[in-house]
């Protein structure tokens, strides 16, 4: 028999269910006496009341931080067997649980090793973060051959407070269609989206977790002779970039606050171009650009030649940019070369939401900031492959025409798309607070078990 533990919010009392009938009765009692269920971790039951068979889950690389350790703990507590490949010291530092395996071989040897482990340990599911990392690209092919499902974590298609967990692949590898009528048809069969609550997130926590991961990686490189980070910089260079960025934080923040005040005061209409991370595989694999510099050049050149003369372009720095490249200087150089330096602004810091809401339009490659703008009825053009680039939702013409011909998304279609996305690909929560992680791992385990979570 499986077990279900329910913690009642006001009393902290634990109720254990040993059957489907007990579970239903205890949930009803919790709702009647307490008003809400605060926490639930369980092995789920099928329609007949029997427990679902436990999974044998293999975790590959996760986010730089404790996400996969927390997920492993939750899976184990729910009765599943969990294994983990560590590819470097950072992976091992954050795992610290049984079932960990250090991979010290080469990328060429990796598929055979993975295939052997999947067969030997009878793996039922593989979970990874980011499907474009070299080891993950190879792993996806192996799992496809062996018919083992791959569950891919990524930053949320819709933000904030959502995380992507999609079967098979994300973004350019997503299996979601681009047919508007399909979304209308599927959404019409789904219930309304459950109430969604915000979760806390700490930039400082993310930076410190990244620093700890990189330090552990550097100090143990001798133990992983073939490891090569998928990011384009050595961790030391990235660390110096972060230090330089943080040292200039106060001045950058003040300048950005003044810029936002001017933009929201409505002095001139403007378009918004949020930069993506230079290390983002979505740029390298799912766009026509070799780098963010290429994309910046294209957008500025089109703006200079085709945007109305009374409009401005705001280039927004990615909040997690590591500071290795000075994108402010890069933007200024290109704008000056094109003769539009007096019409281009650089936003180094700040909340994108109010700036996006007041924009005349947003240009993105395949950033999820596009869904943020669309949700506020702001016209969006996508220059790369992304799940939301759908006729009726995004502008389908050329960038040169976008500046004068863009129109807001079809609200009914976007709502249908959003509803399907939440049902198929998203779970609530985040990565950078305890509350956010609790929510993510509970919903992730529920998704793996094929059951629905109660509303939070």
* Domains within the chain, CATH numbers bracketed: 4-201+426-449 (3.40.50.20), 252-417 (3.40.50)
Distance, CA of 347 to CA of 307 (rounded, Å)? 20
Look at 30 and 102; give whichever has higher pLDDT: 102
The rounded distance, in Å, linking the Cα atoms of 80 and 55 is 5
Give the integer Cα–Cα distance in Å for 260 and 246. Answer: 20
pLDDT in tens, 295-309: 999 999 999 999 999
Report the C-alpha dihedral over residues 277, 283, 286, 290, rounded to 10 degrees.
Answer: -170
* SS3 (DSSP) at 79: coil
Residues 35-60, mean pLDDT to the nearest whole number: 58
> What's the pLDDT at 23?
52
The helix/strand/coil state of 181 is helix
Q: Taking residues 140-167, what's their average pLDDT? A: 93
What number of other Cβ atoms are within 10 A of residue 153's Cβ? 25
* Mean pLDDT, the chain, integer: 86
The residue-averaged pLDDT of 265-280 equals 88
Calculate mean pLDDT across residues 75-92: 96
Q: What is the pLDDT of residue 413?
A: 98
Cα Rg of the chain (Å, integer): 23
pLDDT of residue 446: 94
Q: Does residue 122 surpass a pLDDT of 50?
A: yes
Rounded Cα–Cα distance for residues 223 and 214 (Å): 15
Cα–Cα distance between 125 and 242 in angstroms, integer?
36
- Summarize the confidence of residues 3-18 as an average pLDDT: 41
pLDDT for residue 11 is more than 70: no
pLDDT band (50, 70, 90) for residue 15: very low
Average pLDDT over residues 5-19: 41
Q: Is residue 441 scored above 60 in pLDDT?
A: yes
Residue 3 confidence (pLDDT) above 80: no
- Residues 174-203: what's their mean pLDDT? 90
Q: What pLDDT is stored for residue 7 in this prediction?
A: 39
Q: Which H or E run contains 17?
A: strand 14-17
Rounded to an integer, the average pLDDT of 241-267 is 79
Q: Quick one: three-class SS letters along 80-96?
A: CEEEEEECCHHHHHHHC
Return the SS3 of 45: strand
Q: Please report the pLDDT score of residue 30 as a whole number.
A: 54
Which DSSP symbol is given to 194?
Answer: P
Q: Going by C-beta distance under 8 Å and a sequence separation of 6 or more, which residues neighbour residue 226?
A: 104, 105, 106, 107
When pLDDT is averaged across residues 414-435 and rounded to a whole number, the result is 94
At 193 the three-state DSSP class reads coil
Residue 44 confidence (pLDDT) above 90: no
Cα 265 to Cα 18: distance, rounded to the nearest angstrom: 60
Assess whether pLDDT exceeds 80 at residue 97: yes
Question: Residues 143-149: what's their mean pLDDT?
Answer: 97
Q: pLDDT at residue 376 above 80?
A: yes
- Please give the pLDDT value at position 274: 95
Position 29 scores a pLDDT of 60
Instruction: Quote the CA–CA distance of 3 and 16 in Å, as a whole number.
Output: 6
Comparison of pLDDT for 199 and 93, the residue scoring more: 93
| Residue 269 structure tokens | 């209409």
Q: 269 falls in which pLDDT band (50, 70, 90)? A: very high
pLDDT digits (tens, 9 = 90+) for 305-342: 999 999 999 999 988 777 668 888 999 999 999 999 99
Pairwise CA distance, residues 158 & 201, whole Å: 15
Q: Which residue has the higher pLDDT, 292 or 374?
A: 374
d(CA 52, CA 44): 6
Q: For the ranges 35-44, 169-178, 254-263, which has the lowest average pLDDT?
A: 35-44
- Picking from 435, 374, 431, the residue whose alpha carbon sits closest to that of residue 407 is 374
Q: What is the pLDDT of residues 378-392, one digit of tens each?
A: 999 999 989 999 999
Question: For position 359, what pLDDT does the model report?
Answer: 97
- Count of C-beta atoms within a 10 Å radius of residue 443: 20
Give 397: exposed, middle or buried? Use CB within 10 Å, 0-12, 13-18, 19+.
exposed
Q: Given this model, what pLDDT does residue 455 score? A: 56
Q: Using CA atoms, how far apart are residues 153 and 283, in angstroms rounded to an integer? A: 18
More confident residue, 256 or 39: 256
pLDDT for res 17 = 46
pTM for the full predicted model: 0.82
383-423 pLDDT, tens digit each = 998 999 999 999 999 999 999 999 999 999 999 999 999 99
pLDDT of residue 424: 92
| pLDDT for residue 225 | 94
Cβ neighbours, 10 Å, residue 26: 18
Question: Rounded CA gap, 263 and 345, in Å?
Answer: 10
Residue 14 has pLDDT above 50, yes or no: no
Phi/psi at 246 (5° precision): -65, -35
């Amino acid at each position: 028999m499986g077990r279900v533990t329910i913690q009642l919010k006001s009393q902290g009392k634990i109720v254990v269910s040993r059957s489907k009938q007990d579970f239903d009765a205890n949930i009803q009692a919790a709702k009647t006496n307490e008003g809400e269920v605060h926490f639930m971790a369980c092995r789920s039951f099928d329609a007949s009341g029997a427990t679902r068979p436990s999974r044998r889950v293999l975790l590959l690389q996760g986010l730089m931080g404790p996400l996969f350790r927390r997920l492993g703990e939750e899976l184990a507590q729910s009765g599943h067997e969990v294994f983990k490949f560590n590819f470097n010291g950072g992976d091992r530092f954050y795992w610290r649980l049984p079932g960990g395996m250090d991979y010290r071989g080469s990328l060429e040897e990796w598929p055979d090793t993975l295939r052997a482990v999947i067969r030997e340990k009878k793996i039922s599911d593989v979970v990874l973060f980011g499907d474009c990392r070299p080891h993950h690209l190879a792993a996806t092919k192996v799992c496809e051959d062996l018919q083992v499902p791959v569950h891919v974590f990524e930053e949320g298609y819709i933000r904030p407070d959502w995380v992507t967990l999609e079967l098979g692949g994300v973004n350019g590898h997503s299996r979601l269609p681009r047919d508007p009528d399909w979304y209308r048809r599927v959404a019409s069969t789904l219930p309304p989206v459950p109430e969604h609550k915000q979760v806390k997130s700490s930039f400082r926590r993310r930076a410190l977790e990244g620093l700890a991961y990189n330090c552990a990686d550097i100090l143990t490189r001798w133990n992983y002779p073939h490891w090569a980070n998928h990011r384009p910089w050595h961790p030391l260079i990235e660390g110096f970039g972060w230090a330089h960025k943080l040292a200039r934080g106060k001045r950058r923040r003040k300048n950005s606050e003044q810029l936002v005040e001017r933009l929201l005061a409505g002095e001139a209409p403007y378009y918004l171009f949020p930069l993506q991370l230079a290390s983002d595989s979505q740029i390298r694999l799912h766009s026509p650009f070799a780098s963010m510099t290429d994309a910046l050049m294209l957008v500025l050149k089109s703006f200079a030649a085709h945007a109305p003369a009374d409009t401005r372009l705001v280039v927004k720095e990615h909040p997690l940019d590591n500071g290795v490249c000075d994108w402010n200087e890069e933007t200024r150089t290109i704008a000056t070369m094109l003769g539009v330096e007096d019409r281009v602004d650089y936003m180094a810091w700040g909340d994108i939401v109010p700036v996006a809401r007041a924009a005349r339009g947003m240009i993105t490659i395949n950033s999820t900031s596009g869904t943020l703008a669309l949700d506020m009825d702001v016209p969006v053009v996508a220059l790369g492959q992304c799940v939301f680039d759908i006729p009726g939702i995004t502008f389908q013409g050329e960038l040169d025409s976008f500046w004068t011909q863009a129109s807001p998304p079809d609200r009914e279609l976007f709502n249908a798309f959003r509803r399907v996305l939440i049902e198929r690909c998203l779970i609530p929560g985040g990565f950078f607070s305890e509350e956010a992680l609790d929510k993510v791992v509970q919903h992730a385990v529920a998704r793996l078990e094929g059951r629905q979570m109660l509303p939070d």
